[in-house]
Amino acid sequence: MPGGPGTIPTMSSPDEARRARHGGSRGPARVGSANLRDVAARAGVSPATASRVFGGSRSVHADTRAKVLAAADELGYVVNGLARAMTGRGPGTVAFVVRSMIGPTFASLAAGAESVATANGHLLLISTTEGDRQRESDLIATLREQRARAVLYVGSTESDPEFDARVSGYAEDLADVDASLVLCGRPPVVGAPAIVSVDYDHRAGVGAGVDELVRLGHTRIGYLGAGRGMTTAELRLDGYRTAMTRNRLPHAKDLVRVAANSEDAGEAAARELLSMAARPTAIVAMTDNIAVGAYRAARALGLRIPDDLSIVGFDDVPFVADLTPGLTTVRPPFYEVGVRAARIALGVEPAENVLLQPSFIRRDSTAPPAEM
């Protein structure tokens, strides 16, 4: 509570201090209500001189600069950062557009992009679309209106001509205001070579998992992952099939089960696969989430990992190293993807497609197959 009679009143904020200096107020101060001309008049300079001060011009004398900044503080003047950015004079926006911000994968991508944006004097804006095409279209239109410096279109997308046409339109709209669009964690768009893609090799990552299991002696290797229709799911399934063919092993339909990217879906699909009379001795999962579901299914069916069943995941999310046993998995270079995409989007490096290589992380969830 405020002090009683005899106490000394204190100023609880800069706004209150300003009101006391200028005769008080009948209500809360309007933040930023002063304009540039007000500041110039208070400082005794022209609006053009005040503008040069806020624009960072070095041609303004130090004493004049100090007067303008003092006047701005007294009046509560706030520089219109959006207006400055739209005219190319202030920090710009790098937009990180993603379907949904789930887990450490996208956080790492965003951290990489933000490191580049910050180093180049820009801000990173993260926005989700939740797969809503109208919301996505409205967002791109808003970013265009606000003259965003660059848009990173992040993550797996539909693999169909409609998406290709849609994103090509976005790129053209952004180019009209000198903004670039870069695909981040998604392969290039067929028929749109001007749209740069920065991705990692999903096929090679899954292939490394299959190769490891073959090296250990497995011949019946199952696969759990989402069905076709999205780029990541298709690339990883293709990686499994290519690796099985390369190792001259069958990849019949009965060794593949569709599973959405969740632990529950992974468990349900793994139960089906492991209940077969001639069950697989090893499983490659499209993601670590699905692999965790496979752990659950194996234990529910009385199977030991890796003695009775070897499991390989993909993504190397932080907690999988602490599973019992630790999950053998594939680690994509998420941070580096974000860095490279932002550098290309801002013109720091050449605008050309980039395909980075993932790392294979060997832990204790894989071993030679037991005799069945």
User: pLDDT tens for residues 157-175?
Assistant: 888 889 999 999 999 999 9
CATH 3.40.50.2300 location in the chain? 93-200+336-356, 202-332
Size (the chain), residues = 372
CATH code of the domain made up of 14-71:
1.10.260.40
Given a cut of 50, the residues of the chain with pLDDT beneath it are 1-31, 82, 86-87
Residue type present at position 88:
G
List, in sequence order, every beta strand (DSSP E) within 15-133.
93-98, 123-128
> Nearest Cα to 295, choosing from 280, 309, 307, 281?
309
Q: Which residue has the tokens 């002063």?
A: 34
Residue type present at position 260:
A
CATH 1.10.260.40 location in the chain? 14-71
Q: Are 159 and 95 in contact (CB under 8 A)?
A: no
Q: Are 235 and 202 in contact (CB under 8 A)?
A: yes
Superfamily name and number for 93-200+336-356: Response regulator (3.40.50.2300)
SS3 content of the chain, % helix, strand, coil (to 5): 45, 15, 40
Per-residue pLDDT tens over the stretch 56-107: 667 788 888 888 888 888 887 776 554 555 445 555 889 999 988 777 889 9
Taking CA 128 as the corner, what is the angle to CA 122 and CA 134, rounded to the nearest 5 degrees?
A: 115
CATH 3.40.50.2300 fits 202-332, yes or no: yes
Q: Which residue has the tokens 């030679």?
A: 368
Beta 329-331 vs 359-361: how paired, if at all? antiparallel
Q: What's the confidence (pLDDT) of residue 32? A: 52
